[in-house]
Structure 1
Amino acid sequence: MNTDQAFDLLREAGVTEDSSIQTVRRWFRERKINYEGKGQRDSGYILDDTDQAFNMLKDAGVTDTIAFQIVRRLLQEGKIQNMGTGNRKFKNQQNETVSKQLIISPSDQDKIIHQLKARIKAQDEHIKAIEHLHKSSITTLIQQRDILNKEITNLENENSELQRETKKLLKENLDLTNELLTLKEELFKGNKREADTTQTVPPPLPKTNDYRQKLGLSKHASDKEVLTRYKKLLKITHPDHGGNATAFHFIKTDYDYFRNSIKLK
């Protein structure tokens, strides 16, 4: 065996490059291999026999199991020229059983083929199971996506309905505010005309029935009902509650007049 063949053998066994270089150098010093000098390790090689290959792997520190597997594979690939007798000695002597184990009988080949087919079949079944699980997962995800899309559509519809209701309420509130402003402007103009007629005589208090008419109440409504209606209007038009300050001022003036008229009774 030359240095190139020895290096390739160690590389096949998974030995690191640094360890392979040191081992090859040691074998060369011990005259267990000769120098080839070509350095073409990637071109392939042929060993003398299985005993030589097995013993050299053992000498390099490779375990029996790995060495046996490597030698058998190299023998099948035609990289070992002869079958050993089990009597070659290198550093660690191996018995004849190792060489005999390298021979694969037809029955063993059939058994190996049967085992390989069984493993392939099991792998195929495993792949089918994974594919089925994958399809089931996709179906479940699609169903969940459809449910989420429906929920989103329902929420969007509810949001649109709420927006319409909000706009409607805002419009009603605006209309009510405008009506109150109109009412207060008319009341303010009437009070101003009465104030201009005389400066010495205080303006007479409006009749009680006038307040009821302004508020849209029956002329027979009680004083308590009138006060309740005024309080509601004051709450609606109060600036702190988003109301109109002018409307609030007019309503507050009427409210004070009406309350004072009750006290004078």
Structure 2
Amino acid sequence: MNTDQAFELLKNAGVAEDVCITTVRRWLRERKITYEGRQSSSSVILDDTDQALQLLKDAGVAPSIGLLAVRRLVREGKIQQVGNGENKEYIPKEPSPTRTIQPSTEDKRIRQLKAKIKAQDDHIKGIEELHQSSINTLIQQRNKLNQEKMLLEKEKNELQRETRKLLKENLDLRNELLKIKEEYSKGNKADPEKTVPVSSKIYDPRPKLGLSKTAGSKDILAGYKALLKTTHPDRGGNAELFHFIKMDYDAFRNSLKDK
């Protein structure tokens, strides 16, 4: 207990200021208190009620007045605890008001919040798994489309090579036909186009269309149509090649009409 706390104890008991000063000086000499500056770091001035009553009695304060002062200091929380002396029953320590906590209610609330958090975590996990599954599905579809694209590009390249080959054969046949026409014209013979056996040998389209020698007219027409679709400019084909194949197709179809 320091000098400031001693002054506060005596003032609370109604002791006059000059008596407070004299008493505090005497307590210092008797080493019942210690000296300390004016600024106290604690609101507690005494350890227990017995100490407070003894000091007040030593200061000449009447027991009834001392009891009232000590009781007030206990209520204000300036005396730490109720002592074990004879006056204990007159100075009950009043508990400071505290917030009542209901553990069961708080625990229930905590459990509810934990359950909600777990449900949200499970929901988020489910969404993440669904998202990942969708990504995997899209990746598989993309890979499949890329494979199909590669196959189509390969088929397209093969068809283009085949069409270029057919175009070359067609040009060779036309050159051969022109050569035969010139030979017939020089010899004053009949037009070879009117000679069916020679023409049929030159313009047999089955080898060019990849058909067997036993293929009929319907097969030849179907082959021409498929080739025309492939080489059509609207489908990315070659316009010149399409033109030559169309001429062959028309010539073959007309030859059927003549028959």
> TM-score, normalized by length of structure 2?
0.48
> TM-score, normalized by length of structure 1?
0.47
Q: Report the structure number with the largest CA radius of gyration.
A: 2
